[in-house]
Amino acid sequence: MVKKIKIPSIPSITKSWVVLIFVLIFIIYCSDVSLSEVYIHKCCNRTTQYKDNKICIESKDIPPLRIPSSNDGLSNQKFHENETFKVILGSPCEFGHFIIEPNKNKGDSFSIDPNTGVVSSKAAGIYKPNEYCVEFFGTGKDDIAINICLPVTEITTLNDGIRVDLILTVLMILSVPFLIITFTVFACIKKLRNFHGKSLMCHVISLIVAYISLAFTQLNSSLSKFACFCSAYIIQFSFLASFFWLNVMCFDLWWTFSGCRPMRGRAKERDSKKFILHSIYAWGGPLIIFFITFYMELSTSLNSTEYQPDFGLRSCWFHTKTATLIYFYGPIGVILLANSLMFIHTALMILKHMREAKVLQGSESKKSVDHEKQKFLLYFKLFLVMGVNWLAEIISWAFDNQGHWWYVTDIGNALQGVLIFLIFVCKKRVLRLVNKKFCPGVEIVKSSTVVSNRTTSSTYTQSTVVPKDSVEMNTHLVSDFKA
């Protein structure tokens, strides 16, 4: 039995087609609107414009805003037709912005797509209409600049909206008093001002300058370009100097334990000569990098802008990752690698000395090895504080990793002043010296009591010939650690 197919009536078909046509017309209309109406932000309102690319100020006779179409830095800036985009008043940049200037930096040449409003720049990158704004920056009607919004990833926030950079800045400010106390203790107590004490003081003063400069920069979002330029160089030099001084302490530790002959002369003369030579290296190295960076900043003969620092162009730091690697993270990474190798070799030498001490069975040799171990552990803690945290910092920077677990190392870096204070000042011997220096009448820290037990029983003595260099090295180790 054949089933009959019901054919809809002509009015039903007509109604369906009419509805379908209206739907298609509506879709086409909406798509046409969405394609034609692209909104571009004017950074300020209708009667104001930027002053120093920072704040909006009232200005008389502001001409109608024209949206640039392209600027290659060589010819005059070109503009779109007036009806190409719709203009919205007000900046979309929640966390600040940076200006791209093709006339000063050829890598900043840009073009704005007429259909999407997307900005494409070789150096700055690609940005949607809600990621930048345009604004007058001079008196001429063609003095219009593109201001790119700083991405949210550079200003990380926690789940409740608290800005991580502000937390880290507060922690850095908290570290500064502890660094100042550490520096003051070693500067005021003569027994602590040996070679290692002076090296630590230089390391600490470098961190003080670095933290103050970095905190000042992060708390002032409206710095002038000159102030931004100067603070960036101070931050670069001071942080590099702190790592160079850390390298000096690691090298001296390795040199002493490796059995190399010390410099000739008395102990004080040796320390003075050694400190002068190491100062030339520890201050001179960052100074050379500083001058190279400054030369590259002023150089106009480079074909690529990847190697130019461009401080103040985007922020108060390097503009590209290549420049950051060459002038900052690269030298730090080399120093951290050298320190790691020296610590590994020093640890092996300490194990060797411990085996020799067991063979000698002497109290002096055992005491010397104990001092070696204590001194090694002291500076190894400092290396962990500076080395591991900054190694994690370099890795997170290299791979653009913004995971929350990196906050642990960031907090460690920010609290280095507190950690250094705990390692070098909060020790019984140092606290006793502080007590004796500043409060001699009150015994805040109890002195340790040494009980000497003498025996008259005969002991078996093993005759062993110990090289003179080894004796000098052990004496040098003990005196350095004590003083």
Alpha-carbon distances of 35 from 85, 88, 126, 155, 280, rounded to whole Å: 10, 17, 19, 32, 64
For the CA atoms of 378, 275, 335, 383, the dihedral, rounded to the nearest 10 degrees, stands at 10
Q: Which two tokens stand for residue 118?
A: 């997307």
Q: Provide the 10 A C-beta neighbour count for residue 348.
A: 11
So what's the pLDDT on residue 263?
58
3-class SS string, 295-355: HHHHCCCCCCHHHCCCCCCCCCCCCCHHHHHHHHHHHHHHHHHHHHHHHHHHHHHHHHHHH
Instruction: State the 10-residue block means of pLDDT for the chain, 483 residues long.
Output: 47 54 55 59 83 73 84 79 84 78 78 89 81 81 81 50 74 94 93 89 95 89 78 94 92 77 65 90 96 86 70 77 90 91 82 65 55 67 74 77 69 88 88 85 64 39 38 40 40
SS3 70: strand
- H/E run at residue 198: helix 195-219
What pTM does this model have? 0.65
Contact between 157 and 168 (Cβ < 8 Å): no
Q: Which two tokens stand for residue 269?
A: 């003369």
- The domains of the chain, with CATH numbers, are 39-150 (2.170.180.11), 164-447+464-482 (1.20.1070.10)
DSSP 163: B
Side-chain-side CA neighbours of residue 480 (13 Å): 27
Residue 23 amino acid letter: V
So what's the pLDDT on residue 302?
60
State the distance between the two ends of the chain, measured CA to CA, in whole angstroms.
Answer: 113
So what's the pLDDT on residue 448?
56
Q: Which residue has the tokens 């005491």?
A: 367
- H/E run at residue 368: helix 363-383
DSSP 157: B
Contact between 228 and 217 (Cβ < 8 Å): yes
Contact between 375 and 480 (Cβ < 8 Å): yes
